[in-house]
Amino acid sequence: MSRSATATLVALGVGAAGESTEAPARVLPVRGELAEVLPWGGLRRGSTVSVRGSTSLLLTLLAQATAEGCWAVVAGLPGCGALAAAELGVAVQRLALVPRPGRDQGEVERTVAALLDGFDLVSLATPVTPATARKLSARARHRKSVLLPFGSSWPGADVELRASFGPWHGLGEGHGLLTTRTATVHVGGRGAAARERTTTLPLPGPTSPEPPRPALRPVAG
């Protein structure tokens, strides 16, 4: 990702934060089921919260905070789209997507460090070295952002969320659409999160069915 593109995204986030004269909340809000099992009742500024097992879970974590005015960015997840985010409650007008944050470790580190300066919530799905992970977590603590590594274990994460899934719902007797499935979310980590807790929540199925195809008319012989 170029420096100019990073600067533009950071300016977007900083500008949004600058619109409010109120002091930023110490804990960013999350959906009720998750608030009950997170150690601070939400996402504490300056923390690193690792998410594994589900893109839908990651977007669900962003939903309430963006709906209440926070800015978020998802980096390194090319398959993440605005439509899926919107269906999970994310305020997409306050969501930035950076499909490829860098060509190498150094560029990824610089890009994410800059994003942590300008956004309330920064998710990174690109694997990094343990040394880079420690530097980015330290940056999040210093800048009072929430770092949300996605997909793999993150050394020293304050909290880790893992999702496992039950069966799909929505099919009748051989017909219908897959609409939701129940996710069991396991929450563990260090300190206040050392004792593992679990909760369940429904997550949506496919975004929409394919449009119907027009019927083929027989061609006169």
For the stretch 173-188, pLDDT in tens is 444 445 577 889 999 9
CATH 3.40.50.300 fits 3-32+40-149, yes or no: yes
124-148 confidence digits (pLDDT tens): 999 999 999 999 999 999 999 999 9
Q: What is the mean pLDDT of the chain?
A: 83
- pLDDT of res. 12: 54
What are the helix (H) ranges across 173-216?
none
Residue whose tokens read 């934060």: 17
Work out the pLDDT band at 199, boundaries 50, 70, 90: very high
Q: Which two tokens stand for residue 33?
A: 């089921």
- pLDDT of res. 165: 82
In the Cβ-directed half-sphere of 147, how many Cα atoms lie within 13 Å? 32
Tell me: pLDDT of 157 over 60.
Answer: yes
**Higher pLDDT pick, 208 / 220:** 220
pTM for the complete prediction?
Answer: 0.80
DSSP H or E segment with residue 184: strand 176-189
